[in-house]
Amino acid sequence: MSDEEDDLILSELNDEELVLQMFDDLYDGMAEEIAESVDILLERKWLPYDILTKALVEGMRIVGIDFRDGILFVPEVLLAAGAMKRGMKILKPLLIESGAPQLGKMVIGTVKGDIHDIGKNLVAMMMEGAGFEVVDLGINNPVEDYLAAIKEEKADILGMSALLTTTMPYMKVVIDTMIAEGIRDDYIVLVGGAPLNEEFGKAIGADAYCRDAAVAVETAKDYMARKHNQL
Amino acid sequence: MTRDSEQFFDTPKASPDRVLILACGALAREIIALKELNGWSHFVLQCLPANLHLYPDKIPDAVEKVVLASKGKFAKIFVAYADCGTGGILQKRCDDLEVEMIAGPHCYSFFEGNAAFEQRAEITSFFLTDFLARQFDSFVWKPMGLDRHPELRDLYFGNYKKLVYLAQTNDPDLDQRAEQAALQLDLAYERRFTGYGDLESALAP
C-alpha cells in the first residue's frame, strides 16, 4: 500500500468518492474500513438500504464478476465477504427498523452428509444483501429439517448446497419427498455447489442450478418476479 | 485451448500390446511402487498434472484429449482417476470414450477401500494421502490462501474435527508432516495405514 493510501482519510471524501473507495475496500477485504465508511454514510443521513445496495452489494457484484472471470479466487472472495458482513452487521438492525423492502424468504442449508458451508454462507449473505429474508439451517441437513423449515417459515425459496459428489444426490431425495408430499410446486428450489452443473440441476428436478452467489441472487429475483406475475 | 493445457498433453508413445494407464499425477509414485512391487509390465503410465485437482472441471477435457490422441495405440486405455470432484462428468466422459476408470469419489476413498470408506461416513474428517502429506503446502495451504491469510483457516476447516492421514506407506517423515498439518489446521490427528487399497486391484492385469 502506498503512503498516499495510508494517509487516506475516509471522512474527507465526498459521497461519490467514498462509495468508490468502499468498492476498493471491499475488493481488498478491508473490514475495518468498510465499517468506518458505513458509519460515515449513516452520519451523512444515507438510508441504510441505500448504503447496502449502492455501496456494499454493488461492491460485491464487482467482486463476483472478477471471481467468475478468474481474476479473484476463493480466499479473496472470502475476505471481501468478511468485509461486507462487517458492514451488514451495522446495517441489519437499521434495515429491520426502517422496514426495507423484502423480496422474499429463503430457507437454505447444506445437505445431509456434507459439512461444507462456504458457498452456502456466501449465497445467504448476498441474498440478504439483495433484500431476501434468509433462514440458514447450517450444515448436514436431513430432508425432514428442510421440509419442516420451509413450511414453518412459509418460505418462497429452498436453497440446497453440496460440495461433495457423494452428497449432491441427496438434493434429489429432498425434491422427491417434496413431490411425494405434493408441495414441490409451492416452492422455488435452487441448488448449487462446486461439483454441480446445470444438467444435474435439471435431472433432479430443481428449478435452477446457480453457479455462484451472484447468479443465485439474480435467479431468485427472476423466479420471484415470475411468481408475482402468476398471482 | 490455453497454453497451460497444451503443455502437458504429450502423446504417449504407442505400445499396442500394453495398457495405457492415464493417471492423476498425485498417483504417479504409488502406481510406480505397485508396478515394481508386483513386477508388472502390462502397462505404460502417462500422468496428467496433479494440480488439475485444484480445478476439477478441467479434468474431463484433459483426460479426453489424451485418450483421443492415444486410441488405437494401446491394447486398452484405463483412466486412473476417481470422480475427483467432477460431479459424475468424468465418468460420463469415460463412458462416451469407452474407457474404464477407477470407481469411487476420491483417491482417499479407494486407498481405504471404497466400501470401507463409505461405511465409515466420516463427514467431519479431512483426509490426507501420502501425496497430500508430502505436498500439503502446495496443494492445501497455499491454494487456499492460508499462507497469506491464516485468519481464513476456520472458515474453511471450522466444521472439521479430525485430520486422518491415510498412509500408503510406513514413512515416519510423512507421518510427522501429516501431524504438523493437523496442528496447522487445528484438528485432531489420526494416522491410518491403508496401503494401496482398491488401486492395486484396479491396475492388476
pLDDT surpasses 60 at A217: yes
Instruction: List, in order, residues 6 or more apart from B92 with CB less than 8 Å away.
Output: none
Q: Which residues pair with B3 in a beta bridge?
A: none
How would you classify residue A97: left for phi > 0, otherwise alpha for psi between -120 and 50, otherwise beta? alpha
Between CA B55 and CA A131 the distance in angstroms is 32
Whether A73 sits inside 8 A of B145 (CB atoms) is: yes
Binned at pLDDT 50, 70 and 90, residue A76 comes out as very high
Whether A118 sits inside 8 A of B152 (CB atoms) is: no
Enumerate chain A positions whose Cβ falls within 8 A of a Cβ in B.
73-76, 78-79, 113-118, 139-140, 164-166, 168, 194-197, 200
**How many Cα atoms sit within 13 Å of A219 on the Cβ side?**
22
Of A87-101, A143-157, A203-217, B144-158, least confident by mean pLDDT is: A87-101
Q: What per-residue confidence (pLDDT) applies to A129?
A: 86
Q: Any idea how long chain A is?
A: 231
pLDDT, tens only, B91-133: 999 999 999 999 999 998 999 999 999 898 899 999 999 999 9
Distance from CA of A14 to the nearest CA of B (A): 32
Q: Can you tell me which residue has the cell 500422468?
A: B47
B10 contacts B44 by C-beta, under 8 angstroms: no
Between CA B93 and CA B195 the distance in angstroms is 29
Between CA B175 and CA A34 the distance in angstroms is 43
| Interface with chain A: mutation pick from B147, B149, B161, highest number of A CBs within 10 Å | B149
Pairing between strand B15-24 and A188-192? unpaired
Binned at pLDDT 50, 70 and 90, residue A214 comes out as confident
pLDDT surpasses 50 at B3: no
| DSSP-based three-state secondary structure for A35 | helix
pTM above 0.80, yes or no: yes
| Interface with chain B: mutation pick from A73, A161, A166, highest number of B CBs within 10 Å | A166
Output the CA–CA distances (angstroms, integers) from residue A210 to A36, A109, A192, B106, in the order listed. Answer: 33, 14, 5, 24
Nearest to B152 among A75, A117, A197 (CB): A75
Binned at pLDDT 50, 70 and 90, residue A100 comes out as confident
Whether A200 sits inside 8 A of B86 (CB atoms) is: no
Binned at pLDDT 50, 70 and 90, residue B2 comes out as very low
Q: Using N-to-C axis directions, what is the helix angle for A74-98 and A58-68, rounded to 10°?
A: 160
Nearest to B105 among A79, A116, A166 (CB): A166
Q: What per-residue confidence (pLDDT) applies to A120?
A: 96
**Which cell goes with A129?**
444483501
pLDDT surpasses 50 at B7: no
Quick one: closest CA in A to B120, which residue? Answer: A113
The secondary element (H helix, E strand) that includes residue B22 is strand B15-24
Q: Which residues of A touch B89 (CB under 8 A)?
A: 197
Q: What per-residue confidence (pLDDT) applies to B4?
A: 42
How would you classify residue A72: left for phi > 0, otherwise alpha for psi between -120 and 50, otherwise beta? beta
Between A and B, how many CB-CB pairs are < 8 A? Answer: 52
Whether A166 sits inside 8 A of B152 (CB atoms) is: no
Whether A139 sits inside 8 A of B159 (CB atoms) is: yes
Pairing between strand B74-80 and B43-48? unpaired
pLDDT, tens only, A115-172: 999 999 999 999 988 889 999 999 999 999 999 999 999 999 999 999 998 999 999 9
Q: What per-residue confidence (pLDDT) applies to A5?
A: 54
Of A106-115, B47-56, B71-80, least confident by mean pLDDT is: B47-56
Whether B89 sits inside 8 A of A196 (CB atoms) is: no
Q: Which residues of B touch A196 (CB under 8 A)?
A: 87
> Rounded mean pLDDT of chain A?
93
Q: Which residues of B touch A78 (CB under 8 A)?
A: 145, 149, 152, 155
Domains and CATH numbers, chain B: 5-102 (3.40.50), 109-193 (no CATH)
Between CA A106 and CA A142 the distance in angstroms is 17
∠ at Cα B46 (B45, B47), nearest 5°?
120
Find, among A113, A116, A162, A165, the residue nearest to A140 by Cα.
Answer: A113
Quick one: closest CA in B to A111, which residue? Answer: B123
∠ at Cα B30 (B24, B36), nearest 5°?
125
B43 contacts B18 by C-beta, under 8 angstroms: yes
B183 contacts B141 by C-beta, under 8 angstroms: no
Whether A75 sits inside 8 A of B121 (CB atoms) is: no
